[in-house]
Amino acid sequence: MLVGVWAVLGVAGVLVVLTGWLPAGDAREVALTRGAPVQGFLVAITVLAELADPAGVFDAAAGACARLARGPPCGCSRWSPCWVRRRRSG
């Protein structure tokens, strides 16, 4: 569903430029000055997440947060997650 929305928005953007409602020079300027930094950030954060996940960075951060919070807020443990407890009681 989300891919369809982006496809429609992409076609609409191309039509706006082709019909002249937004001059091509202005569209290029907006894409480079506003779009490129956002795209660069998204690519960088995705690469960082892909490198950090296998290294266990997110698991270590979650463990540190759970220790600082004195356990998970729902009271479940590592060996008995919430969804197992709900299924047994329900």
Q: What is the pLDDT of residues 15-69, one digit of tens each?
A: 999 999 999 899 889 888 988 899 899 999 999 999 999 998 988 888 888 788 7
Better pLDDT: 28 or 75? 28
DSSP state at residue 23: -
The pLDDT of residue 44: 93
The residue ranges of every structural domain in the chain are 2-68
- Give the pLDDT band (50/70/90) at residue 5: confident
**Within the chain, where are the H helices?**
2-19, 24-30, 36-55, 57-68, 82-89
Tokens describing residue 35: 């779009």
Q: What is the pLDDT of residues 8-23, one digit of tens each?
A: 988 998 999 999 999 9
Asked if the model's pLDDT at residue 81 lies above 90, the reply is no
Return the closest-CA partner of residue 81 out of 69, 66, 61, 68.
66
Instruction: Return the ∠ at Cα 14 (arms to 13 and 20), rounded to 5°.
Output: 95
Asked if the model's pLDDT at residue 85 lies above 70, the reply is no
